[in-house]
Amino acid sequence: MKFAIKLIFLFLILNSACGQSEKPAAIVFPKPTGSVSDFSNIYSSAEEKVLDSIIRTFEKRTSMEIKILSLDSTMTTLEGFNSYILRLAGAWQVGKKEGKDNGVLIGISPSLQRVRITNGLGVEKSLTDMDTKRVLDDLMFPEFRNGSYFNGTRLGVEELIRVLEKQK
């Protein structure tokens, strides 16, 4: 009988301890450093300037916004990569100027071997999932596999711009 009471008591303690969970810590996103936020250092300074120039020229012609983010392995996990990019796009308010939600965020993590292009609702009709898949598969991934992150990113950005300008 004493054993049964001890067992029930132990069960109640464990059950109440397991039922209490802490809220996950709020994610603190890094501040963008410009059109290109290269936190994994995959671009040289000159390459960043070229990408930034392409993007800024496009943004001056349109009301659309493009941001490039390279992540290091400490910023997210393999499983959390897609969610991180989506939430970061919201935190950075990519494409939220004038309330149009017409931005594109390109997230690249060489260490996790992941890339994601996230479109705002304002560009979904112009830049479809099929378009972004084609840009990734045909232009970016082949260059990334060869270690040329700059070339892959540049080709991808130029094609995204071409598609977006054609549809506007």
State the number of CA atoms in the 13 A half-sphere of 79 facing the CB.
0
CB burial string 72-94: b at 16+ within 10 A, e below: eeebbeeeebeebbeebbeebeb
pTM of the model: 0.82
Determine what percent of the chain falls in helix, strand and coil, rounding each to the nearest 5. 55, 15, 35
Confidence check: pLDDT of 153 > 80: yes
Domains of the chain listed by start with CATH number: 36-167 (3.10.310.50)
pLDDT in tens, 25-64: 567 788 999 999 999 999 999 999 999 999 999 999 998 9
pLDDT in tens, 101-116: 889 999 999 999 999 9
CA-CA-CA-CA torsion sign (107, 83, 131, 134) = positive
In 3D space, the residue among 69, 72, 100 whose CA is nearest the CA of residue 86 turns out to be: 69
Nearest-angstrom CA–CA distance, 157 and 152: 9
Confidence check: pLDDT of 137 > 70: yes
